[in-house]
């Protein structure tokens, strides 16, 4: 039998295989084809039955005919390849998949439709299939129009009538691959949304949450710029967060005014509208809108509103906030806070449904994070106000007695560790009872407020504390301050109050409100207590009053 390689080398034309009783290469005019005989598919026992006139021969012939018919009409591509890589048989499925006629395919090498099986690697593939007997893999076939498509190829090694072939079946797996890509996208979307949701539950770091959102979206969508835009009351706005590629410029913190942005856009976004623009030049946009987007290099964009639910109040339960948000927005109670925007700058882009769904999900999560942060800030402010009420004097605004006691004990321990001086000044308004009796309690309250402010202004260091110690008494705690420093601060306080010039006609010292001050300085030690410093300052204050008021006295506790 002539070798099939010689047949193709001579560029002869082969058509369909014929079923013949003689097993050879049969010439039909200029045509030469592989001839498969019924004998090729029969055992010796079946051949003996044939020769004896039994029906096994007829049955085998029928099976062969049905097999040939099934292969020819299969939607899978089926073809036989010679040892030298030439196609010697192809079914109708192969013709439809590849876009070639059988005449064309019979003149082609397997490398013409699959570069992986070309001349450079053919010997390796042939040897691998021969060794294993059968090999299944994923590869790509190329159509007559030049397009490529993925296939699952099974190659079987067959020896027939002294020649070897690969009997191949190829299944188009384009839809399978598309489903795999969609599945990966779905997995990535779920991972991203889950990660953002987890961050919201575990963190109150809003900048980190929003930056992660735009970074992940840009990477997943393979786009040029993703940003979060916050509206101002006049519908201008600011780019608050941005992720931008190297080929585009940054617009972070830029204040943006869109002359085309009308109340109609506000209403549509308020209702949850998503705006997807494939090409700003062909999607029917107003000229002003095209000009506006062009200045930011935008060719296509995807815009999703960030909506707040106005029904929510301050809560410390993050899960409660999440559950409320995911129960669905009531449009009537939603507030348009801003926009989550993806910019495609280099070329046009057809946005897919899954990309829109992703941005809608992330816009919801961004709204949760922003609103949660806003509510938490309000809660912190409320807590600070409560703390201030608990630690400050309601009339004068300086620290109250409770805060004074806590601060003095804390500073005593700290100065003991640091082996440094601690000073205390007690201030008493001279003849304040006479002031109240003469000017009234309302004027007395105003006087206390002004004196407290004057004392606070004279005490400049952040670590120092001014407190209301009693009715008309104030105290000043001065860490890291020795005797000299304490006297300087005390004198500054005395003069600051005199400079107020508050009239006090009932004073026995001067025509104005004045202070008497007692200062004490200690070097805290384990053998001492803060109360000793208070007692020393109180004794110094008594001394200042005894010497005529409107003056200061000092006492230093000896080290123990």
E strands in 95-147: 134-142
Active site residue 45: no
Under 8 Å between Cβ of 273 and 302: no
User: Could you write out the DSSP letters of every residue in 287-339?
Assistant: HHHHHHHHTTT-SEEEEEEEEEETT----S-HHHHHHHHHT---GGGEEEEEE
User: Longest Cα pair distance anywhere in the chain, in angstroms?
Assistant: 150
- Residue linked to tokens 């309302």: 442
Angstrom distance (rounded) from CA 34 to CA 3: 11
Torsion sign (Cα): 441, 444, 445, 446: positive
At a CB cut-off of 8 Å and minimum separation 6, what does 423 contact?
A: 477, 478, 481, 482, 483, 485, 486, 489, 519, 520, 521, 522
| 145: three-class secondary structure by DSSP | coil
E strands in 319-435: 334-344, 422-429
Q: Give me the numbers of helices (H) and strands (E) for the chain, helices first please.
A: 18, 20
Angstrom distance (rounded) from CA 407 to CA 389: 16
| 393: three-class secondary structure by DSSP | coil
CB crowding 506-540: b at 16 or more within 10 Å, else e? ebebeebbbbbbbbbbbbbeeebebebbbebbbeb
The radius of gyration of the chain from alpha carbons, rounded to an integer in Å, stands at 46
Under 8 Å between Cβ of 306 and 341: no
Count of residues making up the chain: 560
Under 8 Å between Cβ of 474 and 547: no
End-to-end CA distance of the chain: 121
User: What are the C-alpha distances in Å from 5 to residues 17, 68, 107, 114, 189?
Assistant: 17, 23, 11, 19, 53
216, 355, 411, 472: which one is catalytic? 472
Torsion sign (Cα): 23, 26, 32, 33: negative
Angstrom distance (rounded) from CA 77 to CA 456: 92
Indicate which residues carry an active-site annotation. Answer: 472
């Amino acid at each position: 039998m002539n070798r099939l390689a010689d047949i193709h080398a001579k560029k002869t034309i082969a058509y369909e295989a014929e079923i013949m009783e003689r097993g050879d290469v049969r010439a039909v005019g200029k045509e030469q084809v592989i001839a498969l005989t019924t004998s090729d598919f029969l055992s010796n026992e079946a051949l003996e039955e044939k020769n004896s006139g039994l029906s096994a021969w007829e049955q085998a012939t029928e099976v062969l005919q049905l097999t040939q018919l099934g292969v020819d009409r299969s939607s899978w591509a089926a073809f036989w390849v010679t040892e030298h890589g030439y196609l010697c048989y192809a079914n109708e499925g192969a013709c439809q998949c590849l876009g070639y006629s059988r005449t064309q395919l019979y003149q082609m090498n397997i490398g013409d439709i699959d570069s992986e099986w070309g001349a450079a690697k053919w010997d390796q593939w042939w040897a691998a299939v021969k060794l294993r007997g059968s090999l299944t893999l994923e590869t790509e076939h190329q159509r007559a129009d030049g397009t490529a498509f993925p296939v699952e190829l099974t190659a079987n090694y067959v020896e027939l009538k002294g020649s070897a072939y690969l009997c191949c079946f190829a299944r188009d797996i384009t839809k399978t691959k598309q489903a795999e890509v969609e599945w990966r996208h779905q997995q990535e979307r779920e991972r991203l949304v889950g990660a953002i949701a987890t961050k919201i539950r575990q963190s109150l770091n809003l900048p980190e949450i929003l930056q992660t959102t735009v970074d992940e979206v840009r990477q997943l969508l393979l786009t040029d710029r993703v940003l979060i835009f916050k509206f101002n009351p006049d519908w201008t706005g600011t780019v608050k967060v941005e992720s931008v590629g190297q080929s585009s410029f940054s617009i972070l913190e830029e204040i943006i005014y869109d002359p085309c942005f009308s109340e109609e856009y506000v209403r549509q976004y308020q209702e949850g509208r998503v705006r997807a623009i494939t090409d700003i030049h062909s999607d029917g946009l107003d000229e002003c809108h095209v000009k506006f987007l062009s200045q930011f290099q935008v060719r296509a964009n995807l815009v999703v509103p960030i909506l707040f639910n106005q029904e929510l109040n301050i809560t410390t339960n993050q899960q409660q906030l999440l559950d409320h948000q995911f129960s669905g927005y009531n449009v009537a109670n939603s507030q348009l806070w801003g926009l989550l925007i993806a910019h495609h700058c280099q070329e046009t882009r057809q946005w897919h449904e899954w990309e829109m769904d992703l941005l809608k999900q992330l816009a919801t999560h961004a709204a949760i994070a922003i609103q949660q942060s806003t509510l938490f800030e309000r809660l912190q402010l409320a807590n600070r106000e409560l703390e201030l009420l608990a630690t400050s004097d309601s009339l004068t605004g300086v620290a109250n007695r409770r805060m004074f006691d806590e601060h003095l004990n804390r500073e005593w321990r700290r100065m003991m560790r640091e082996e440094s001086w601690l000073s205390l000044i007690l201030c008493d308004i001279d003849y304040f009872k006479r002031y109240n009796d003469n000017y009234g309690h309302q004027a007395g309250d105003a006087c206390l407020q002004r004196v407290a402010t004057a004392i606070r202004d004279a005490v400049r260091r952040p670590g120092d504390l001014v407190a209301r110690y009693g009715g008309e008494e104030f105290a000043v705690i001065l860490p890291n301050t020795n005797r000299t420093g304490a006297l300087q601060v005390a004198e500054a306080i005395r003069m600051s109050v005199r400079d107020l010039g508050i009239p006090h006609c009932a004073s026995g010292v001067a025509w104005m409100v004045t202070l008497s001050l007692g200062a004490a300085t200690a070097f805290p030690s384990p053998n001492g207590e803060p109360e000793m410093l208070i007692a020393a300052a109180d004794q110094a204050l008594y001394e200042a009053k005894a010497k005529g008021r409107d003056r200061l006295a000092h006492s230093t506790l000896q080290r123990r």
